[in-house]
């Protein structure tokens, strides 16, 4: 079993143009954690998943994944 956090986001800042998406976001996912992302349309849920996967690079902050960990993500708009 892996010790320590699997995923860590530290002080993440991300904006698209003038729109601030994340400001000082911190996230820690430990082994066996279960998480759910709930929020209004346009609040950054899909963007957060893309940051976790490395598809979107944050403006500031640190993204750390446990060695050997890969993050999967299925687009909500498949068509």
The more confidently predicted of residues 78 and 45 is: 45
Would the pLDDT of 7 be above 70? yes
The answer as to whether 73 is a domain residue is no
The answer as to whether 78 is a domain residue is no
Would the pLDDT of 2 be above 70? no
The answer as to whether 43 is a domain residue is yes
The answer as to whether 72 is a domain residue is no
Q: Mean pLDDT over all residues of the chain?
A: 90
Q: What is the pTM for the complete model shown?
A: 0.84
User: What range does the domain containing 25 cover?
Assistant: 7-64
Contacts of 16 (CB under 8 A, 6+ apart): none
The answer as to whether 20 is a domain residue is yes
The answer as to whether 71 is a domain residue is no
Burial class (CB in 10 A: 0-12, 13-18, 19+), 45: middle
Q: How many domains does the chain have?
A: 1
pLDDT-based confidence at 52, cuts 50/70/90? very high
């Amino acid at each position: 079993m892996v010790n320590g956090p699997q995923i860590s986001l530290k002080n993440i800042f991300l904006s698209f143009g003038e729109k601030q998406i994340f400001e000082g976001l911190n996230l820690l996912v430990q082994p066996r954690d279960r998480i759910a992302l709930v929020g209004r349309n346009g609040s950054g849920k899909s963007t957060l998943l893309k940051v976790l996967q490395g598809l979107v690079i944050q403006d500031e902050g640190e993204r750390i994944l446990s060695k050997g960990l890969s993050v999967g993500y299925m687009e909500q708009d498949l068509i």
